[in-house]
Amino acid sequence: MLESIRETWKNIVEQELKAYAEAQLGGDVQLPEVSAQTPPKPELGDIAFPLFAYAKAFRMAPPKLAAELKDRIEKIESRPAGELLVAGPYLNVRIDMASVATSLSTLIAEQKEAYGANASLSGKRVTIEFSCPNTNKPLHLGHMRNDSLGQSVAAILKANGADVRKVNLINNRGVHICKSMLAYQKFGGGETPESSGIKGDHLVGKYYVKFASWAKEDPTAEEQAQAMLQKWESGDPEVLALWEQLNGWTLDGLSESYKKMGISFDAYYYESETYKYGKDEILKGLEQGVFYREEDGSVWVDLEPIKLDKKVLLRKDGTSLYMTQDVGTAIMRHKDWPFDSLIYVVASEQRYHFQVLFYVLGLLGYQWANDLHHLSYGMVNLPEGKMKSREGTVVDADQLVDTLTGLARNEIIEKEREALVDDVDQTSSSIALGALNYYLLQVTPTKDMIFNPKESISFNGNTGPYLQYMGARISSMLKKYEDQEFSACHSLGFDSSLLTLSDERELIKQLARYPEVVEKAGSSFDPSLLCSFMYDLSKLFSRWYHDNPVLKASSNELIRARIELVNMMLQVLKNAFALIGIPFLASM
């Protein structure tokens, strides 16, 4: 809404500059493009047009040119409502915020949950791959950043009109899987999740850690794991039975974790089914001459066109590599569900891998390879330092969620809020999930971050619980407004002209800007833009609400006008919550 208003004013300024230039200078005058900026202070207006670049052409000082343009534009009867201001070398516009508020109120009331959605990606099919856990250990904090990113970006892309398919590649084969299997075989003694009371993925992870400590004592441990992998690949019944048993335990455990964290997928792929898929594609490329064979029989791709060296695609014994597998998996996915774009949510250290993968798929002639994306993200650690899964020092996802839930429950009890919530356990769980997702997503994906559990669960500051509490406070206010005490206000119309305070104007501007933020977050695959928007909006609302009574305003008309602003605020918060994975709480 504001973007279209901004564009309209920009066009008017451009047209009047051109018309003035033709009248003063004659002929077809070439002028620089007009730049629309935001003034540094609200009192200077809402849009600023700097005129420095035109001073030389017109041979007049920018302030004088600004005054001349102001006079010319004010004579245009069809111009939008708004006030023109000369601010030194700038021609500024103060938007008629009352008309914006009226239109915005109608739009939000009509669209409700759909407000902010747009059609910028309408007709585009997008597959997004995320999570991709190994079946030798439970999810940890690093996975959680991946999962939060994937789930949120998928929701944001849907809000931008895309048809989205969320997929998960389960890494359930390889020597790392055999290490857990071998350790269980040697030391497990028939232990099961039921007999031990240990969640399946945790039980398998326990033996992955056990293998690492055993391997320090037995130098043949690695060889034994490799030997087990060879048996698996040759179809040894005993090894396959053990593999299926431990994989089943892990997958059951992962399913519980995903449910607890609100993560879901439309399709699962398994490495045990996809790892051979790319071999035929690489051999086709070899026949076509886009790859080449070395003297030892291995197949390579020349990466000089993308300023890299070369990469092996098939070993000399003809076996596949991760790159080979990923080539086949991408092609398989496109056959299953023809996408226009494929996004891989994978840590930043795999940047080289995806650069090569996309190039190889392009060489094989797949046009959709031009719209493949690596959504890379930085490391996530605790204040104490880095984590190592094989040493058992990772932060387990289930444990972290339970810790956050416990911290939230303590906060509710200590602040004596039990009576305000329907279900303390459910509310604590929702606060924990909001804290987790917001904290993980508020940082630009490419940056490394430190996750501080106690900081994330705080009800104050830049946190998910602070935003949830804001939503609960607003809900409480609106509930009070429905009481008989305010019945005289209910029948009044919304008089937006009463919202004249500076903070009210800024709130209206921010609420109107929400769809632009959703679109930008979608085009950049960056949920942190929405996090920043929500926090800035909530701080502004809190300041306004603190300084200006709503239910005790000076007149019924003003109460009604401010309540309408509060209603709009709540709807926008709810809509943004849904894209970030923050559960909305009406009370807390």
Q: Give the pLDDT score at 276.
A: 83
Give the type of residue at 455: E
For residues 13 and 50, the answer to whether their CB atoms sit within 8 Å is no
Parallel, antiparallel or unpaired: strands 82-87 and 299-302: unpaired
| Ordered DSSP codes for 6-32 | HHHHHHHHHHHHHHHHHHHH-S----P
* pLDDT-based confidence at residue 382 (cuts at 50, 70, 90): confident
Backbone angles phi, psi at 117, to 5 degrees: -70, 155
**357 and 432 both lie in a single domain:** no
Give the total number of structural domains in the chain.
4
* pLDDT-based confidence at residue 153 (cuts at 50, 70, 90): very high
For residues 278 and 329, the answer to whether their CB atoms sit within 8 Å is yes
CA gap 408, 425 in Å, rounded = 9
Domain contains 106: no
Find residue 450's DSSP bridge partners.
Answer: 381
- pLDDT tops 80 at residue 28: no
For residues 337 and 163, the answer to whether their CB atoms sit within 8 Å is no
Q: Which two tokens stand for residue 400?
A: 């972290």
**43 and 70 both lie in a single domain:** yes
CA gap 470, 511 in Å, rounded = 15
Q: Which of 76, 95, 114 is the last residue of a domain?
A: 95
Domain contains 118: no
Q: Give the pLDDT score at 345.
A: 98
Residue 22, domain CATH:
3.30.1360.70
Domain contains 415: yes
Q: Give the pLDDT score at 148.
A: 98
Q: Give the pLDDT score at 386.
A: 55
**255 and 347 both lie in a single domain:** yes
Q: Which of 74, 95, 116 is the last residue of a domain?
A: 95
- pLDDT tops 80 at residue 389: no
Domain contains 233: yes
281's enclosing H/E stretch is helix 278-288
Nearest one of 399, 404, 384 to 453, comparing CA atoms: 404
For residues 310 and 302, the answer to whether their CB atoms sit within 8 Å is yes
- pLDDT tops 80 at residue 37: yes
**304 and 383 both lie in a single domain:** no
95's enclosing H/E stretch is strand 90-95
**269 and 285 both lie in a single domain:** no
Report, as an integer, the average pLDDT of 352-375.
97
* pLDDT-based confidence at residue 499 (cuts at 50, 70, 90): very high
**261 and 299 both lie in a single domain:** no
Q: Which two tokens stand for residue 527?
A: 């949920």
For residues 403 and 141, the answer to whether their CB atoms sit within 8 Å is no
**43 and 179 both lie in a single domain:** no
Q: In what order do the strands lie in the sheet containing 267-270?
A: 267-270, 163-170, 125-129, 341-347, 372-377
Q: Which of 131-135, 274-278, 279-283, 461-465 has the lowest mean pLDDT?
A: 274-278
- pLDDT tops 70 at residue 225: yes
Parallel, antiparallel or unpaired: strands 163-170 and 267-270: parallel
CA gap 433, 465 in Å, rounded = 9
Domain contains 189: yes
* pLDDT-based confidence at residue 237 (cuts at 50, 70, 90): very high
* Residue indicated by tokens 């005993």: 238
| Distances, alpha carbon 376 to alpha carbons 330, 345, 463, in Å | 18, 6, 23
- pLDDT tens column, 115-149: 999 999 999 999 999 999 999 999 988 899 999 99
Q: Give the pLDDT score at 65.
A: 96
Residue 485, domain CATH:
1.10.730.10
- Give the rounded percent of residues in the chain with a pLDDT score beyond 70: 98
Angle (deg, nearest 10), helices 141-159 and 502-524: 100
- pLDDT tops 90 at residue 553: yes
Structural domain for 284, as ranges: 277-319
- pLDDT tops 60 at residue 55: yes
**223 and 345 both lie in a single domain:** yes
**159 and 241 both lie in a single domain:** yes
Nearest one of 57, 48, 40, 44 to 10, comparing CA atoms: 48
Q: Give the pLDDT score at 95.
A: 96
Domain contains 120: no
Domain contains 330: yes
**12 and 140 both lie in a single domain:** no
| Ordered DSSP codes for 73-110 | HHT-TTSPSEEEEEETTEEEEEE-HHHHHHHHHHHHHH
- pLDDT tops 50 at residue 381: yes
Q: Give the pLDDT score at 56.
A: 87
Domain contains 446: no
- pLDDT tops 80 at residue 393: no
- pLDDT tops 80 at residue 534: yes
- pLDDT tops 90 at residue 320: no
* Residue indicated by tokens 């003694």: 189
- Residue 213: which residues within 8 A CB-CB, separation 6 or more? none
pTM for the whole structure:
0.93
Q: Which of 266, 293, 319 is the last residue of a domain?
A: 319
CA gap 117, 515 in Å, rounded = 6
- Give the rounded percent of residues in the chain with a pLDDT score beyond 90: 87
How much is the mean pLDDT over the chain? Answer: 94
Residue 188, domain CATH:
3.40.50.620
**562 and 459 both lie in a single domain:** yes
**213 and 248 both lie in a single domain:** yes
- pLDDT tops 80 at residue 384: no
Q: Which of 94-103, 133-142, 199-208 has the lowest mean pLDDT?
A: 133-142
